[in-house]
Structure 1
Amino acid sequence: MNVKLGSGDALVIVDMQNDFLPGGSLAVPKGDTIIPVINRYLLLFHDHGRPIFATRDWHPPDHCSFRQQGGPWPPHCIATTSGAAFHADINFPINTQIISKAASREQDAYSAFTDTQMHELLQQAGIRRLFVAGVATEYCVLNTVKDALQHHYTTFVLEDAICAINLKPDDGVNALKAMTRLGATSIRFGGFVV
């Protein structure tokens, strides 16, 4: 498949934060290996003048997803901490729009669309196609793609720029299959017409 970027396209980079990358409190194994590919996509979309969105978990210290509050995860991505910061090697352009999610104590959110202004911002920008990358494939990437499709965006998963936790060995592969079954298209960098 060959894709040419146009006026209705946007890039969404999901949760490339220190706590989700090796050395972090909820690390995706090998999550840092996709950073060079993400940087290529950032440059491509920036050079084409297309909007770029970066999502981040922005939790309060007593967030409901944390084990201390009965949730499944260790504390991670607590707002304003170094763990919640984006990895220093990611070259986000200055005009990247940041979408903070799961910022209230009572609600967890795996999707960029849950309790955020994501859909409204995309509509205001006239976006019709989304290209999604980041971590973790089977959690926040999957749920963001699901919601994008439910909002009727043509959605592409950047297969070479996602990475899974893989609590079970095939979780990432199964999540990618689920996204394509739902209507997303899987594409790699070589599939773009520049």
Structure 2
Amino acid sequence: MANSKWSHTALLVIDMQNDFILDDGLMRVDGGKAIVPNVIKTVERARQHGILVIWCDGGIYGEIFWLKVVREHDPQGRDVELFRRHLYSQGKVGPTSKGSPGAELVDGLVIKESDYKLVKTRFSAFFATHLHSFLQTAGIHSLVIAGVQTPNCIRQTVFDAVALDYQPVTVIVDATAAATPDIHLANIFDMRNVGVATLTLQEWCEADA
């Protein structure tokens, strides 16, 4: 049953896709595999409370939304950042190409029928997407973030959320990851310094008591 305390909150799950997580992923984030269990638990907790889960890749659970925020690219790389276009050249199947196994969610994360999928082609889930208008229409003003990776998609999404006056913005520090722990912690430090709440999964779960 949805908890009214969380009715204006959304969980953004960012880029938890095979190409970013698996050992043979084309854009593997070294710390990504270790956080999969905590991301699964974060999603489960959100669903229990009716929190809007957005999978940057999404869906709707009672008063809480579940949104899926994912990267998907044109197989020819025509919508990819310029610095990555070489990865799609000469007939290669580039990272997170639409319809490829690498673009699928990692095992353990499942989009349900009522979920909503938001596709992005840049680091921030807000850039050139309808995420902000979607959240405004849903009455969402508080965001919780999980996924990969901390200095890129997590950080840019968080800083855009802060600029758009979402409050509070919370990053689950052990359900997000970067290539190394030092990179992860440095970016967590920077986000904390702009007013972002940086909680462990346990601390976040205890906060709903």
Q: 1:111: which partner in 2?
A: 124
Compute the displacement of 1:93 (Å). 4.2
Give the Cα–Cα distance (whole angstroms) in 1 for the partners of residues 15 and 32 of structure 2.
11
Structure 1 counterpart of 2:151, one-letter code: E
> Does residue 29 of structure 2 align to residue 15 of structure 1?
no
Q: How does 1:1-194 map to 2 (within 5 A)?
A: 5-21=5-21, 22-54=23-55, 55-60=69-74, 61-62=76-77, 63=80, 64-68=82-86, 75-102=94-121, 109-154=122-167, 155-166=169-180, 170-191=182-203, 192-194=207-209
Contact kept, 8 Å, 2:87 with 2:95, in 1: the verdict is no
Give the Cα–Cα distance (whole angstroms) in 1 for the partners of residues 201 and 86 of structure 2.
41
Give the Cα–Cα distance (whole angstroms) in 2 for the partners of residues 152 and 128 of structure 1.
8
Deviation string, structure 1 residues 83-114 (Cα, Å, up to 9, x no partner): 11111221444433211011xxxxxx100000
Structure 2: runs of 5 or more not aligned: 56-68
Compute the displacement of 1:43 (Å). 1.2
Q: What TM-score results when the alignment is normalised by the length of structure 1?
A: 0.85
Give the Cα–Cα distance (whole angstroms) in 2 for the partners of residues 93 and 50 of structure 1.
14
Give the Cα–Cα distance (whole angstroms) in 1 for the partners of residues 101 and 87 of structure 2.
22
Structure 2 counterpart of 1:68, one-letter code: H
Task: Note the aligned Cα RMSD (angstroms).
Answer: 2.1
Instruction: Give the match's secondary structure for 2:147.
Output: strand
Deviation string, structure 1 residues 94-136 (Cα, Å, up to 9, x no partner): 433211011xxxxxx1000001111011111101110001000
Compute the displacement of 1:65 (Å). 3.8
Q: What TM-score results when the alignment is normalised by the length of structure 2?
A: 0.79
